[in-house]
Amino acid sequence: LKLYFNASELITNKGVASKDGVSVDETDLGIIHEGALVTDDTGKILWLGRTMDLPRRYSKITRRMDLSGKIICPALVDCHTHLVFAGARHSEFAMRIAGKSYSDIAAAGGGIKSSVEQTVAITEEKLFKISKARIEAMMAYGVRIVEIKSGYGLSWPEERKLLRVAQRLKASFADKLIIRVTFLGAHAFPKWCKTKQDRDQFVDEICEVMLPAVKREKLADACDVFFDKGYFDRRQSEKILRKARLLGLDIKLHADELADTNGAALAAEMRCLSADHLLKAKLINLKKMAKAGVTAVILPGTAFYLGLPYVDMKKIRKSGVTPALATDYNPGSSPCLNLPFMMTLACTQMGMTTAEAFGAATYGGARALGVHKQQGHLSVGMRPLLSILRVTSYQALIAEYAHPGFSV
Ligand SMILES: [Zn+2]
């Protein structure tokens, strides 16, 4: 058995789970002050409550952890990252700050294609090493569940390389983290796609070659598509998602980030696990997502970094959709591994309350990955991953912004 005791806050998210992450307020976090938690050797929760109420049968436990001055809570979840890539695009940042437009940057060789070139150029072994260091950095922020997308290969051998790196990360962190791998072969069109026929041919290759191989080699849990203006259109996105679902993969969608292309509606129609970004999504389509049980993954890091308008929390509340928060960690639009900072941005820039932000970065993230039955909240009988943070309240985690890391 293992005993955790004297926690400044033991956060159970009891009400967050029972409300399915919608209209969360602070009472829903189920905060127990001076909290204690008993687990068996498999991590199953046997008891939780106030330290002073600890049943006598648990008072002799020798494996014990004094959490004075710390909080213990359900694992923080970063449910949207593009973590496996090589190189950097810092010069694009400098160009943007200097007032250059998106097309200037593309003309100078920037954008996703630049990361593809830099990623293709290095070995699987090197890619594994740099990605591993990123996961370790992420863990310092208390993140214990991470989603990793491929998408900087854009050909089957290279996409396979990225997915294999993600699978190796999954295996090497298996005792500390849950890693979910998402195939995002449809991240952008490769260089050789010049005409509509070429682009359709690439979509066919994803459906007929890549997805069956992903399934056969057990390389991913889910499939995602970049459905947006200038990227994959509705017909192409739907084709890829249908094929992925047929093969038994979970499906997700990058939707309505650059333009409102009714991506949120497509995600609802296809019953995706989540639709992500949603900067331009209409209320009526968010309502469809709510009805279909699709989680809204909000990525305030990109709006912050690119200087774009944020998702409006009033609209999210009105729609009744479950929100999740993630970093969208990637080299171009959000090179930031700090999930608590995303909570800060959600509060100061989008109008989330601190309780909403906390629920979205825990339960909401777990829901966006389809693991919210076992993760994202704590109750007796569950076997959830836990985050332990060196702060005295969950509010401190959000208020002490851009902190270099609180994790124990
Ligand atoms: Zn993304």
pTM of the model: 0.97
Residue 82 CA, ligand 1 centroid: distance in Å = 6
- Note whether 20 and 39 are within 8 A (CB): no
Phi-psi region for residue 11, left (φ > 0), alpha (ψ -120 to 50) or beta? Answer: beta
pLDDT of 270 over the 90 cut: yes
274 CA distance to ligand 1 middle (Å)? 12
Q: Residues 6 or more apart from 118 whose CB is under 8 A from it?
A: 85, 86, 87, 88
Q: What CA–CA distance (Å, rounded) separates 208 from 247?
A: 11
Could you tell me the distance, in angstroms and rounded to a whole number, from the CA of residue 149 to the centre of ligand 1? 8
Q: How far is ligand 1, taken at its centre, from the CA of residue 52, in Å?
A: 45
Span from the CA of 187 to the centroid of ligand 1 (angstroms): 9
253 CA distance to ligand 1 middle (Å): 9
222: Cα within 13 Å, side-chain hemisphere: 23
Q: What is the pLDDT of residues 230-261, one digit of tens each?
A: 999 999 999 999 999 999 999 999 999 999 99
Question: Per-residue pLDDT tens for 193-221?
Answer: 999 999 999 999 999 999 999 999 999 99
Tell me how crowded residue 383 is: count the other CB atoms within 10 A of its CB. Answer: 12
CA of 222 to the centre of ligand 1 (A): 14
Q: How far is the CA of 200 from the centre of ligand 1 (A)?
A: 22
Nearest to 325 by CA among 361, 370, 281, 275: 361
Report d(CA 213, CA 179) in Å as an integer. Answer: 20
The answer to whether 268 touches 289, Cβ cutoff 8 Å, is yes
Instruction: Report percent pLDDT > 70 for the chain.
Output: 100
- CA of residue 377 to ligand 1 center, whole Å: 25
In degrees, rounded to 5, the angle at the alpha carbon of residue 209 between the alpha carbons of residues 80 and 122 is 60
251, 222 contact by CB (below 8 A): yes
Determine the pLDDT at residue 200: 98
pLDDT of 328 reads 98
The predicted-structure confidence for 152-173, as pLDDT tens digits, reads as follows 999 999 999 999 999 999 999 9
Q: Is the pLDDT of residue 27 over 80?
A: yes
Q: Which pLDDT belongs to residue 134?
A: 98
CA of 357 to the centre of ligand 1 (A): 19
Q: How far is the CA of 309 from the centre of ligand 1 (A)?
A: 17
Residue 405 has pLDDT above 90, yes or no: no
Residue 73, both tokens: 């809570």
Q: Which residue has the tokens 């890549």?
A: 210
Predicted confidence (pLDDT) per residue in 46-58, tens digit: 999 999 999 999 9
Q: How far is the CA of 260 from the centre of ligand 1 (A)?
A: 16
How confident is residue 404, by pLDDT bands cut at 50, 70 and 90? confident
Q: How far is the CA of 10 from the centre of ligand 1 (A)?
A: 32
C-alpha 399 – ligand 1 centre gap (Å): 26
Cα of 111 from ligand 1 centre, angstroms: 13
Ligand 1 center to 61 CA (angstroms): 44
Cβ neighbours around 352 below 10 Å, total:
28
Tell me the per-residue pLDDT of 92-113, one tens digit each, with 9 for 90 and over: 999 999 999 877 887 888 889 9
Cα(196) to centroid of ligand 1, in Å?
24
Band of the pLDDT at 280, cuts 50, 70, 90? Answer: very high
Measured between alpha carbons, how far is 97 from 143 in angstroms, rounded to an integer?
30
Residue 156 CA to ligand 1 centre (angstroms): 20
Least confident of 102-116, 294-308, 327-341: 102-116
Closest CA to 183 of 219, 217, 216, 209: 219
Structure tokens, 240: 């890829």
Q: Which residues contact 394 (CB under 8 A, 6 or more apart)?
A: 9, 11, 29, 31, 71, 73, 354, 358
Average pLDDT over residues 22-40: 98
The proportion of the chain whose per-residue pLDDT surpasses 90, expressed as a percent, equals 95
Distance 394 CA to ligand 1 centre (A): 27
pLDDT digits (tens, 9 = 90+) for 345-380: 999 999 999 999 999 999 999 999 999 999 999 999
Rounded to the nearest whole angstrom, what is the distance from the C-alpha of residue 255 to the centroid of ligand 1? 10
Ligand 1 centroid – CA 70 distance (Å): 32
pLDDT at 15 over 80: yes
Burial class (CB in 10 A: 0-12, 13-18, 19+), 135: buried
Measured distance CA(222)–CA(275) in Å, rounded? 13
SS3 letters for the chain? CEEEEEEEEEECCHHHHHCCCCCCCHHHHCEEEEEEEEECCCCCEEEEEEHHHCCHHHCCCCCEEECCCCEEEECEEECCECCCCCCCCHHHHHHHHCCCCHHHHHHCCCCHHHHHHHHHCCCHHHHHHHHHHHHHHHHCCCEEEEEEECCCCCCHHHHHHHHHHHHHHHHHCCCCCEEEEEEEEECCCCCCCCCHHHHHHHHHHHHHHHHHHHHHCCCCCEEEEEECCCCECHHHHHHHHHHHHHCCCEEEEEECCCCCCCHHHHHHHCCCCEEEECCCCCHHHHHHHHHHCCEEEECHHHHHHHCCCCCCHHHHHHHCCCEEECCCEECCCECCCCHHHHHHHHHHHHCCCHHHHHHHHHHHHHHHCCCCCCCCCCCCCCCCCEEEECCCCHHHHHHCCCCCCCEC
**106 Cα–ligand 1 center, Å:** 18
Calculate how far, in angstroms, residue 315's C-alpha sits from the geometric centre of ligand 1: 21
pLDDT at 105: 86
**Res 106: pLDDT:** 79
Q: Which residues surround ligand 1, an ion (CB under 5 A)?
A: 328
- Give the C-alpha separation, 145 to 138, whole Å: 10
C-alpha 281 to ligand 1 mean position (Å) = 16
